[in-house]
A and B are shown apart, each in its own frame.
Chain A
Amino acid sequence: MQLSLITALALLVLTAVGFLAGRSRALALAEKDGSRLHSLPGYHGYYVALWAGLPGFAVLAAYALAGTMIVNTIVLDRMERAAEPLQARYELALANDDIWSEAEREIARLDDEMAALRGEAEQVIAAEGVQSDAVEALRARQDELQFAQDDARFTRDARANTIAGDIIQAVPEAGDHALARAGFEFARLPVQEREVFLADARALAFGDGLASRDTPELRATAGALQPVHSAIAWGACLGALGLALAGLAFARTHLAVRFRARNRVEWVISATLALASLIAILTTLGIVFSLLFESLRFFAAIDWRVADFLFGTQWSPQTAIRPGQIGQSGSFGAVPLFAGTALITLIAMMVAAPVGLFAAIYLSEYADSRVRAWAKPALEILAGVPTVVYGFFALLTVGPLLRDFALFLGYEDAVTQSALSAGLVMGVMIIPFVSSLSDDVINAVPQSLRDGAYAMGATKSETIRHVVFPAALPGIVGALLLAVSRAVGETMIVVMAAGQAANLTANPLESVTTITVQIVTLLTGDQEFNSPKTLSAFALGLVLFVLTLILNIIALRVVQSYREKYD
């Protein structure tokens, strides 16, 4: 870290030197030649500075990104080779060990048996359905087999550990042998513990962070890491500096009176700007691919029952499912989520659409400038309030109020977290969104249309109802679609105020759950990655993304064609 920091500073210095060298050389050239430079001396300076700085920093950045990985790969490879004799001895010992071989055979046998059972189960399910007694019996049988296999695995692993321990005992702790032991131990570690092992070794070697353990094997690994690390670090840093010097010298030879330094420097600038604009595309690609990839893993985990996911009515992802478990279906049916999202969105739009629209019509057609000066900032503040604040408001004020009101009206099952309170508050949140978009749309209606109506003797409200509103309608529809997309994707209000229960209901006083709530629920708290439960959040995310994307594209199209009509 120190070394690369010093190198970075040195590169900065070299870049500055490059600038000065370039500029002074350009001035000298102009003096000698007696004619004007094509580009200002400063551009010659920048040109040389770029040649000096860019390659060097690129090398340094590459080292920062991949350096650790390269060092680890080299050292692990070395450890693996050192451990080869031990590994061979270990494998031979395992093959000759009766207990281990017996357990291994048992596991394979049970695998076959379970596969057969699953085949049988499919037939039974096809014939009698998932809920039959026969399937229940098969399921019990599968659990039995699974337990037996777990036992066998335990026996096998315990035996393997004993044998590995014996082998390690026979190797001395010192010198090269230590590295062999480290390699052997590392190879036997489960994947997630390997990272810890490496982190500990690095902590011992470089003192970055605290090591959780300190064993001879870790020490050996650390010892192996150090020289490789310093070799690569020195290589990268000297390479960067060398490249910088070479670039500087190379660029300096280019300089001439007619040399178009400015054009070169400007090319670099515009290329950088173009690269920046690619980030937006990369973000979209990142979203699409990460959602697709994780969703595919999810669908693979539920045996490609995509229809069950999209049309199933039972949502209980908390039920852990084992791979290949018989007849476990229906727990990932997302319809209650879609229904809850739709219900809340509907309620929100019932609030936001009329209020937002009337506010926009009032502001653009009736309000005088004094009212506008007050109302617009107020709406902006309403738009700027973080959604978590709305959520708190819904949870602590609106929710209890509605519940008490429902109780007062004699509805006994009223709850604090209800679709109604979330929907109402979300509606309030969306009002400024609807009103500002509609305001734009209404303002885009040309004055000539209004003048035409007034000229025919129409009153103000007639003009608005018969001329302005119809003319603005497509734009307003677009604005409302954008608002719907906003409501569908809103998270915090529903997380706090709508509840978690996956009820399939149209009753706004019950608590419902939405796509976004479930994504949050599934991905916060303790989570094991790769479980279908966690992955299902990405499938929900994909649905959400596609849904909002479709709404946005339609809305943007509508709004755009509307704008073009009056531009």
Chain B
Amino acid sequence: MADSAAPAHTAKTVYHSVANTHPVKVAASGVEVFYADKQALHGINLDIQDRSVTAFIGPSGCGKSTFLRCINRMNDTIDTARVAGSIRIDDEEINDRAVDPVLLRARVGMVFQKPNPFPKSIYDNVAYGPRIHGLASGKDELDAIVETSLKKAGLWDEVADRLDQPGNSLSGGQQQRLVIARAIAVNPEVILMDEPCSALDPIATARIEELIDELRENYCLIIVTHSMAQAARVSQMTAFFHLGHLVEYGPTEEIFTNPRDRRTQDYITGRFG
């Protein structure tokens, strides 16, 4: 269905004009990804603004998650994956050999589709990152980091009295907020979220969306989502991916009200996807 509706050969991306309210945080140019011999991404050029939420939308297998994983070099962990092109964060090339992906991932936090707290206590979940990065020089400092992170993630009030309980004992939505707190704890600049609400019920989803909106004030957030409504609710910018191409990129409102590419239009109106 998808293939018949869209001319697959068009490689040109439609860019909407953007009011430069925030500086560019992540700048991608010519990013290509191959899994073994299969090309998963074709020449992606994309500038992402700081202190805002950017949503990646598109049908399954369009490459939005793949691109997301390029931003913190998670693709390095897959043996067969090969990444080409340039991604700069604050003008620093992250695909440079001199960059330690491990340190990069501390700067670019990630939240996954299914909540994946470590099977340890709530406290240890949040404290793990600061510990391995040497962010706290003492127990008090660590406690403070844990507390602020949990507060920022809006979880503190619910767990303050049971920090020593296992992270898995929380509800799904709480777990996902715990994971967000865990990501915040290492003081990242960018937070990547890969369909963070797809495993949650509507109420928990609403809570997370609220949280995302709050976090926008301090972080550059990039969120992959299947739900167009969610993209419309939380994001300021939207990028539409299709078959490994970036089709259209612009302010969320414009993308949803005035898509310029046929494929975007078809996707948004529900013709495929």
Task: Enumerate chain A interface residues (CB-CB to B < 8 A).
Answer: 36-38, 40-41, 260, 262-263
| Beta-carbon contact of B132 and A38 below 8 Å | no
Beyond A38-B103, A40-B132, list 6 extra A-B contacts (CB 8 Å): A37-B134, A38-B100, A40-B133, A260-B100, A262-B102, A263-B100
Which residues of the partner chain B approach A262 to less than 8 Å between Cβ atoms?
102
Residues of B within 8 A of A (CB): 100, 102-103, 132-134
6 residue pairs A–B, Cβ–Cβ below 8 Å: A36-B134, A37-B134, A40-B132, A40-B133, A40-B134, A262-B102
Contacts of A36 in B (CB 8 A): 134
Cβ of A259 to closest chain B Cβ, rounded Å = 12
User: Which residues from chain A contact B132 at a C-beta distance below 8 Å?
Assistant: 40
Instruction: State whether A41 touches B134 (Cβ < 8 A).
Output: yes
Whole-angstrom distance from the CB of A30 to the nearest CB of chain B? 9
Residues of A within 8 A of B100 (CB): 38, 260, 263
Q: For B135, give the chain A residue with the smallest CB separation.
A: A36
A37 CA to B103 CA, complexed, in Å: 11
Complex: chain B residue closest to A39, CB-CB: B134
Most buried by A among B102, B103, B132, B134: B134
- Give chain A residues whose Cβ lies under 8 Å from the Cβ of B102: 262
Chain B residues whose CB sits within 8 angstroms of the CB of A260 once the complex forms: 100
In the bound complex, how far is the Cα of B133 from the Cα of A275, in angstroms?
29
How long is the Cα–Cα vector from A263 to B98 in the complex, in angstroms?
A: 12
Q: How far is the CB of A8 from chain B (nearest CB, A)?
A: 32
In the bound complex, CA of A263 to CA of B97 (Å) = 14
Set of chain A residues within 8 Å of B103, measured between Cβ atoms: 38
* A contact residues around B134 at 8 Å (CB): 36-37, 40-41
Q: Give the CA-CA distance A494 to B133 in the complex, in Å.
A: 61
Q: Which applies to chain A's interface (DSSP): helix, strand, loop or mixed? A: loop
Q: Output the least CB separation between B142 and chain A (Å).
A: 14
Nearest CB of A to B176, in Å? 28
Q: Which residue of A lies closest to B134 (CB)?
A: A40
Bound CA–CA A38/B132 (angstroms): 11
A321 vs B102: C-alpha distance in the bound complex, in angstroms?
Answer: 69
Closest to A36 in B: B134
Min CB gap B141→A, angstroms: 14
CA distance A262 to B133 in the complex (A): 11
- Among residues of A, the one whose C-beta sits closest to the C-beta of B132 is A40
- Per the bound structure, the CA–CA distance linking A358 and B132 in Å amounts to 55
A38 CB contacts on chain B under 8 angstroms: 100, 103
Please give, as numbers and ranges, the residues of chain B lying within 8 Å of A40 by CB-CB distance: 132-134
Q: Who on chain B is nearest to A30 by CB?
A: B134
Question: Nearest Cβ distance between residue B95 and chain A, in whole angstroms?
Answer: 17
Distance (Å) between the CB of B170 and the closest chain A CB? 29
Complex Cα gap A37–B133 (Å):
9
Bound complex: CA of A260 vs CA of B102, how far in Å? 11
Q: What is the distance, in angstroms, from A31's C-beta to the closest C-beta of chain B?
A: 11
Complex CA gap A37/B132 in Å reads 12
Question: Can you list the 7 inter-chain pairs with the closest CB atoms, starting with the nearest?
Answer: A40-B134, A37-B134, A260-B100, A36-B134, A40-B132, A38-B103, A263-B100
Give the docked Cα–Cα distance between A451 and B181 (Å).
Answer: 46
Tell me, in angstroms, the Cα distance from A38 to B98 when the chains sit together: 12
Q: Which residue of B is nearest A41, CB measured?
A: B134
A221 to chain B, nearest CB (A): 60
What's the least CB distance linking A346 to chain B, in Å? 46
Alpha-carbon separation in the docked complex, A263 to B103 (Å): 11
Distance, CA A41 to CA B132, complexed state (A): 10
Give, as a whole number of angstroms, the nearest-CB distance from A42 to chain B.
Answer: 9
Q: Residues of B contacting A41 with CB < 8 Å?
A: 134
Q: What is the distance, in angstroms, from B76's C-beta to the closest C-beta of chain A? A: 14
Contact partners of B133 in chain A: CB under 8 A: 40
What B residues does A37 contact at CB under 8 A? 134
The CA-CA distance from A262 to B134 in the complex, in Å, is 12
For A263, list chain B residues within 8 Å (CB). 100
**How far does the alpha carbon of A40 sit from the alpha carbon of B133 in the complex, in Å?**
7
Report B98 CB to chain A, min CB distance, Å.
Answer: 10
> What's the Cα separation between A353 and B102 when bound, in Å?
54
Give chain B nearest CB distance to A532 CB in angstroms.
51
Q: Which residue of B lies closest to A266 (CB)?
A: B102
Return B152 CB to nearest CB of chain A, in Å: 21
CB distance from B117 to the nearest CB of A (A): 23
B23 CB to nearest chain A CB (Å): 23
In the bound assembly, the distance between CA atoms of A41 and B100 in angstroms comes to: 17
User: What is the CA–CA distance of A40 and B135 in the complex, to the nearest angstrom?
Assistant: 9
Min CB gap A63→B, angstroms: 39
Rounded to whole angstroms, the CA-CA distance of A200 and B134 in the bound complex is 60
How many Å lie between the Cα of A38 and that of B100 in the bound state? Answer: 9
Minimum CB–CB distance for A39 against chain B, Å: 8
Closest B residue to A42 by CB, please name it: B134
Q: Which residue of B lies closest to A262 (CB)?
A: B102
A261 to chain B, nearest CB (A): 12
CA distance A213 to B100 in the complex (A): 67
**Shortest distance in angstroms between B187's beta carbon and chain A's nearest beta carbon?**
11
- Specify the chain B residue showing the minimal Cβ separation from A260: B100
Q: How far is the CB of B49 from chain A (nearest CB, A)?
A: 27
Q: In the bound complex, what is the Cα–Cα distance between A40 and B102 (angstroms)? A: 13
With the chains together, A36 CA to B102 CA distance in Å?
Answer: 15
Report the bound CA distance from A38 to B134 in whole Å: 9
Bound Cα distance A418, B273 (Å): 73
Cα distance A419–B213 in the bound complex, in angstroms: 80
Q: How far is the CB of B99 from chain A (nearest CB, A)?
A: 11
A37 to B102, CA, bound (A): 13
Task: Tell me, in angstroms, the Cα distance from A260 to B98 when the chains sit together.
Answer: 11
- Shortest distance between the CB of A28 and any CB in chain B (Å): 14
Query: In the complex, A38 Cα to B133 Cα: how many Å?
Result: 8
Q: How many Å lie between the Cα of A263 and that of B133 in the bound state? A: 14
CA distance in complex: A180, B266 (Å): 102
**B169 nearest CB across to chain A (Å):** 29
A113 smallest CB distance to B (angstroms): 71
In the assembled complex, the CB of A267 is this many whole angstroms from the nearest CB of chain B, namely 13
With both chains docked as a complex, state the minimum distance between the C-beta of B203 and any C-beta of chain A, in angstroms. 36
For residue B29, give the distance in angstroms from its CB to the closest CB of chain A. 27
Q: How far is the CA of A37 from the CA of B100 in the complex (A)?
A: 13
**Cα–Cα, bound, A41→B135 (Å):** 12
